[in-house]
């Protein structure tokens, strides 16, 4: 099992996501595989389903910001803005915020499923290695005089 840091595993899983898109594997399976790869590539001490959720959450956020910069398909005849009113703009703003929250939530949930599958795949009924704790400094000094 590779032992990468969390950040490196997330970047590698995003690259795997792009490779899967070129191969032709798309949709929910692609997101679950991305969460699986991100969790599988991390160090055994830090392996958790949350890493897959974080990786896909980052990808969902990137897609949300990308969609702000791409133009929509507009009809040939645009309506007059003065006739629509301010209510349409407020309603559209609420709709876009809810769409971002829901889409990122779906990405995180699917990544967590992939991470959980990776945890099941990795674990052989062995306890995880614990990260060694640092010794605390105390005020009890030994005098050598």
Q: Mean pLDDT, consecutive 10-residue segments, the chain of 145 residues?
A: 87 94 92 94 88 94 88 72 70 87 95 93 70 70 62
For residue 54, report the phi and psi dihedrals to the nearest 5 degrees.
Answer: -65, -40
Per-residue pLDDT, 67: 85
Domain enclosing residue 29, as ranges: 6-70+84-122
Q: Is residue 37 domain-resident?
A: yes
Chain position carrying tokens 């995003």: 14
Q: Is residue 77 domain-resident?
A: no
Q: Is residue 134 domain-resident?
A: no
Per-residue pLDDT, 127: 64
Q: Is residue 15 domain-resident?
A: yes
Q: Is residue 14 domain-resident?
A: yes
Per-residue pLDDT, 126: 62
Task: List C-alpha distances in Å: 1 to 19, 48, 50, 89, 101.
Answer: 21, 14, 18, 51, 34
The total domain count for the chain is 1
Within 8 A by CB and 6+ apart from 44, the residues are 1, 3, 122, 128, 129
Q: Please state the pTM of the whole predicted model.
A: 0.75
Rama region for 132: left / alpha / beta (φ>0; ψ in -120 to 50; rest): beta
């Amino acid at each position: 099992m590779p032992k990468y840091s969390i950040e490196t595993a997330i970047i590698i899983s995003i690259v795997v996501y792009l490779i899967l898109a070129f191969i032709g594997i798309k949709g929910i399976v692609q997101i679950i595989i991305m969460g699986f790869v991100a969790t599988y590539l991390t160090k055994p001490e830090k392996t958790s389903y949350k890493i897959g959720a974080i990786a896909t959450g980052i990808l969902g956020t990137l897609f949300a910001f990308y969609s702000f910069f791409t133009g929509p398909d507009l009809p040939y005849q645009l309506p007059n803005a003065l006739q629509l009113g301010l209510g349409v703009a407020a309603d559209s703003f609420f709709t876009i915020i809810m769409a971002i929250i829901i889409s990122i939530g779906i990405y995180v949930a699917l990544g967590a499923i992939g991470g959980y599958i990776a945890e099941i795949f990795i674990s052989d009924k062995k306890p995880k290695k614990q990260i060694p704790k640092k010794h605390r400094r105390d005020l009890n000094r030994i005098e050598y005089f």
